[in-house]
Structure 1
């Protein structure tokens, strides 16, 4: 039986002065080792949901359980030991003068012993392949490298769950792929349960499951393949289908013998190469 790490039940939140709920009766679970992507257009409630999951806001109604703890103002600091968050702009998270100082910052605040701190910093940077940049100044790094250091800072704290709040939206394609590859590897090693908040369906295609939000409500839920079959509905919500899915559909409509949709360009290229070898 899958272990539930996160459970939301009828979660509702409204900002002061707003007419409608930013999050409106949302319920879902996240299992240990799962990668869940939460997608939606601007104003759909996904960023508010990220803040609720990390205790930056608290529900006006409903409950959020992290493990066996209900998130509240009394438990928020204990919950944050289990949940790490990587934000949109990594520069806003940097506080150290070097990469290793920055990754160590959270551990220093927790009073971790020096010997253990050094080991955890090195382990975290090894996991994100940034161990050769220990003494580099963070602002000299590329966008993708900065975001990997931000992830290392979270990993060093050894959380059960990592939340990516639009964490790749400011990166170029190469930097985005670097970060997503890192997250995928960590997830496959069973180190992390991942919740990614994004408007980018190409990023969401990497996840095990997708939740679509619309006007604060859970609109659809399913695997990436199931969600991308709702192409017209998603476009109507202001979301853009991944290029590989659109191209795969167009090729099939023109008579190219391809089976199913292709969630990534790599999948599509592989099938096209296999098709070419049979011709």
Structure 2
């Protein structure tokens, strides 16, 4: 059984200027090597949940545990060492004049020796396929490349968990594909634990498990296949189901015999090609 890295028990949080809690008695677990997507419309509570996981906010009720540390004022810095966050706007994350300087920034702050730092920087950039951009100035990079460098900066610090906080929402389709592909490879090769906070269900479809948030509570959770069976329910919550799921549903309604629900265009095309010859 996979090791539990994160546990929330009956977590509640309310902002001073709001009449109802942003989170209401949330309980969940995250396991080592898992990719968990937390989805919901704006105001559903998912961003507040991300801040609590990283100790940027503390629950008013309930308990949070990360890698064996119970969240408190005394343990918050220990917890932040275990979690790296990639934020929405890649331009707001750069502090170095070159790609390698930027990846090295967090290591310098952590007091990592110079020789070890050089190795970690090159290794992290190699993992995200940006090692040929060592001396490139960040403003010359595309949005997707910038986010991959941001991920490298986190990998160099060797956290147990990476949180993507709407990390693809400002990218074009190619940039989103680059970032999601990078995360997928890291998870497969290095068993990186990923928590993706997003409203993009195409991104969430790549995860192992999805939690759907609504009005500060967990509305549903399950595998992508289980969650996308609630297509009309998701639309009612203000979410847009992935295009392959929509198209597959339309094809089934026209009488085309699909064997299952497909979460990617590639799988759907392969099934249609095979079905064509069966028919």
Displacement of 1:153 in angstroms is 0.5
Partner of 1:138: 138
Alignment of 1:46-65 (within 5 A): 46-65=46-65
Partner of 1:220: 220
SS for the counterpart of 2:190 is coil
Displacement of 1:270 in angstroms is 1.4
* CA distance in 1 between partners of 2:145 and 2:75 (Å): 33
Partner of 1:13: 13
Partner of 1:255: 255
Q: Does structure 1 retain, via aligned residues, the 8 Å contact 2:166–2:199?
A: yes
Partner of 1:25: 25
Partner of 2:120: 120
CA offset digits 1:145-176 (Å, max 9, x no partner):
00000000000000000000000000111110
The question of 1:266 aligning with 2:254 is answered no
Partner of 2:100: 100
* CA distance in 2 between partners of 1:277 and 1:124 (Å): 45
Structure 2: gaps (5+ residues): none
CA offset digits 1:171-195 (Å, max 9, x no partner):
1111101100100000011341000
Alignment of 1:142-161 (within 5 A): 142-161=142-161
Give RMSD over aligned pairs.
Answer: 0.8
Partner of 1:91: 91
Structure 1: gaps (5+ residues): none
CA offset digits 1:37-58 (Å, max 9, x no partner):
0000000000111111111111
* CA distance in 2 between partners of 1:140 and 1:50 (Å): 30
Partner of 1:198: 198
* CA distance in 1 between partners of 2:278 and 2:196 (Å): 39
* CA distance in 1 between partners of 2:181 and 2:127 (Å): 11
* CA distance in 2 between partners of 1:187 and 1:239 (Å): 26
CA offset digits 1:230-257 (Å, max 9, x no partner):
1111100000010100100110110111
Partner of 1:73: 73
CA offset digits 1:56-98 (Å, max 9, x no partner):
1111111111111011221111111110000001111100000
Displacement of 1:17 in angstroms is 2.1
Q: How many residues align?
A: 279
Displacement of 1:276 in angstroms is 2.3
Q: Does structure 1 retain, via aligned residues, the 8 Å contact 2:165–2:198?
A: yes
Report runs of 4+ in structure 1 exceeding 6 Å deviation: none
Partner of 1:275: 275
Length-normalised TM-score, structure 1: 0.99
* CA distance in 2 between partners of 1:80 and 1:271 (Å): 44
Partner of 2:167: 167
Partner of 1:179: 179
* CA distance in 2 between partners of 1:87 and 1:80 (Å): 15
* CA distance in 2 between partners of 1:270 and 1:156 (Å): 38
Q: Does structure 1 retain, via aligned residues, the 8 Å contact 2:32–2:191?
A: no
* CA distance in 1 between partners of 2:119 and 2:168 (Å): 28
Length-normalised TM-score, structure 2: 0.99
